[in-house]
Amino acid sequence: MVHRFAAGQKKLVVSALGIAQTIGWASSYYIPAVLAAPMADSLGLSPVWVFAAFSMAMVVSAVVGPWAGSTIDRLGGRGILMISNLIFATGLALLCLATSSTALFAGWAIIGLGMGCGLYEAAFSTLAGIYGREARGPITGITLIAGFASTVGWPLSGLMLAAWGWREACLGWAAVHLLLALPLNALLPPAREHEPPLRSVPEDGPPPSRVALALLAFVFAATWFTSTAMAAHLPGLLQAAGASTAAAIAAGALIGPAQVAARLLEFGLLGRFHPLVSARLAAATHPLAAVVLVVFGGPAAYAFALLHGAGNGILTIAKGTLPLALFGAAGYGQRLGWLNAPARALQAAAPLVFGAALSAWGLSAIWLTAAIGLAATGALFVLRRT
């Protein structure tokens, strides 16, 4: 009976947090794709300014992340996640009222604060505080649900835009945070005490936290850079390889299902192995996809999207499970915040950097992200299992 109650509670936690994360991602990371153009037009700005404000929000989230993680380590994540819903709602409401570029940037800065204490890193830290080393399954579970954030967010933002306008769409997302995400986060149980962090290399080797954290920070920064670059420029890249516009868009639509399918694989078969195993396999998929695209050209657009999407789906989980497996649950939140700070900063620069490479080199720009992917794979093989 106790076991059934615990299993039922875990399903409730995963469902509530997964839906709340879907709302958080859909109302922040995914709204510029739909609302940037009308937002900029209404304010008399170029859309570039909206994306610049969005990039600033990601930098803010990188700065806030370590503090949020440390606070979750000490107090648990339920309160921080509930506060993040209030912050998201405030930032979105400010965007609704914006009449100048200053207000636009202020609104996105507040949303960046919400991203830093309300998206995956905070959710993973919350689960580590509740379940300790047993959090791998719940982490995978919430990424399975939140993997549909773009699938839900883009159409819903589009519907609100068409029916009401971009300002009311922002206000609508603010209401969703207050009326749905906030109560869902309130259902989360408190954290509990766990064992001290384990060491991932022998005592007579280099300082384990310093070496391993540096390697993991590089892996996370590399994979965030590549995933963001592909999200911004995938259709253009596939067209440079010879795919038609329609084929490029259709191939891009496969990335979401590929991510979810790979996460199901991680939840099942790969869940039997150490997270390093699945992370190494996943990191190698983008370089492999790059070779396939260069060798076979436009007809390989679908294969490229499936390989890249599958790898990206598992690496998102690895950002939560690898630090937990290597170091344990104690101090997990703050550690995760520092690990992802460089990734957030590089993520903000990725669309500009890869866009410049694509303009200058055409299809050969893919070798940039392929080389980064190979370096990340090598770093994962250097990391040692506990």
Burial class (CB in 10 A: 0-12, 13-18, 19+), 250: middle
In the chain, the domains with their CATH numbers are 2-186 (1.20.1250.20), 208-382 (1.20.1250.20)
pLDDT digits (tens, 9 = 90+) for 323-352: 888 877 777 887 888 888 888 778 878 877
pLDDT at 385: 61
Q: What pLDDT shows up at residue 335?
A: 82
| Ranges of residues in the chain whose predicted pLDDT is under 70 | 1-7, 191-209, 385-386
273 neighbors 220 (Cβ within 8 angstroms)? no
Distance CA 5, CA 221 (A): 39
pLDDT at 178: 97
* Residue (of 372, 346, 374, 247) closest to 305 by Cα position: 247
CA atoms within 13 Å, Cβ hemisphere of 310: 22
Query: What pLDDT does residue 338 have?
Result: 82
> pLDDT tens digits, residue range 182-235?
999 999 987 665 444 434 333 334 445 678 788 888 999 999 899 888 877 777
Angle between the N-to-C axes of helices 78-97 and 101-118, in degrees from 0 to 180, rounded to the nearest 10: 160
Cα–Cα distances in angstroms (integers) from residue 339 to residues 6, 270, 377, in the given order: 31, 24, 17
- How many whole angstroms separate alpha carbon 59 and alpha carbon 113? 9
Q: Measured in Å, how far apart are the chain's first and last C-alpha atoms?
A: 33
Alpha-carbon gap, residue 184 to 115, rounded angstroms? 17
- CA dist 198 and 374 (Å) reads 28
Angle at 338 between CA 149 and CA 324, to 5 degrees: 75
- What is residue 175's predicted lDDT score, i.e. its pLDDT? 97
Q: Which residues contact 350 (CB under 8 A, 6 or more apart)?
A: 224, 225, 226, 228, 229, 232
pLDDT value for 224:
87
Q: What is the pTM of this model?
A: 0.80
Specify the pLDDT at position 163: 93
Nearest-10 crossing angle of helices 2-26, 149-163: 50
